[in-house]
Amino acid sequence: MRLKQITPFVPCTSLARQVAFYRDILGFEVGFQADTYAFLRRDDVAVRLVEVFKSVDLAHPERQGSFYIDVDGIDALFARLKPALDTLPEGRVRAPFDQDYGQREFHVADEDCTLVFFGEAVGRS
């Protein structure tokens, strides 16, 4: 027996806006969409978007979420996404950088402040 994948449920206040973000900015494909739920996939990674009441403040620190996507070719991925990422408001993207724990990462905040980390293991010097 083996675990295959983890697929986060990501709350959002506007399913349409969030689907557009994951599709148009991060390059995910919509596999299924209903009134308040969508399943999106890119390669072996998937997310499940769930619309919550608009009165829920997802930007509040106690409600902010995040998830980490391990990738191969972090700089190539960032370069491919960069034209779309450049359309986001300032402060929503952190360009690739090396972490002390041996990962090269870039970060993107989605439409409701969920932080999406992209990372790749790099050799330590």
- What are the sequence ranges of the domains in the chain? 9-54+64-121
Query: d(Cα 16, Cα 27) in Å, to the nearest integer?
Result: 15
Considering the entire predicted model, what is its pTM? 0.87
Cβ(58)–Cβ(112) below 8 Å: yes
Task: For domain 9-54+64-121, give the fold.
Answer: 2,3-Dihydroxybiphenyl 1,2-Dioxygenase; domain 1 (3.10.180)
Mean of the per-residue pLDDT values of the chain: 91
pLDDT tens readout for residues 40-60: 999 999 999 999 887 877 677
Measured CA distances, 42 to 4, 31, 53 (Å): 15, 10, 27
